[in-house]
């Protein structure tokens, strides 16, 4: 399960996998049945798809990365203003690979943290 979860969200820990098992184990057997697993994957897939679609709205060129200026433009387009410090903090919060940009996987993970 941990391996599958890491495909959806890099950096998933054993504790997160165990938490998912507890929340998915509808019959309290201590194991996840195929039906329970499929239900969890459907929920996760729907979440990822909608969050990915949100990212695509912010990524006008389809590059899969948001630069600081692209993020600023997207925020302004939707009526949100922020200071340079606030923008830098947003990026630092989700930029796990420290390249100064936000990739789609980082964006999805950042939305989940909220």
Q: What SS3 state is found at 98? A: coil
This prediction's pTM: 0.57
Question: What gap in Å lies between CA 80 and CA 84, rounded to an integer?
Answer: 13
| pLDDT tens-digit series, residues 76-93 | 777 777 789 888 988 998
Nearest-Å Rg of the Cα atoms of the chain is: 17
Residue 41: band (very low, low, confident or very high) from pLDDT cuts 50, 70, 90: low
Percent of the chain with pLDDT over 70: 74
Burial class (CB in 10 A: 0-12, 13-18, 19+), 106: buried
């Amino acid at each position: 399960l941990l391996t599958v979860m890491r495909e959806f969200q890099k950096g998933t820990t054993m504790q997160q996998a165990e938490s998912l098992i507890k929340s998915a184990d509808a019959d309290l057997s201590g194991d996840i049945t195929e039906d329970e697993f499929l239900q969890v994957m459907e929920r996760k897939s729907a979440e990822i798809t909608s969050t990915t679609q949100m990212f695509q709205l912010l990524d006008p060129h389809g590059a899969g990365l948001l630069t600081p200026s692209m993020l600023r433009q997207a925020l302004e387009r939707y009526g949100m203003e922020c200071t340079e410090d606030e923008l830098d903090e947003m990026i630092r919060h989700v930029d796990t690979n420290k390249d100064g940009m936000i990739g789609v996987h980082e964006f999805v993970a950042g939305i989940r943290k909220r």
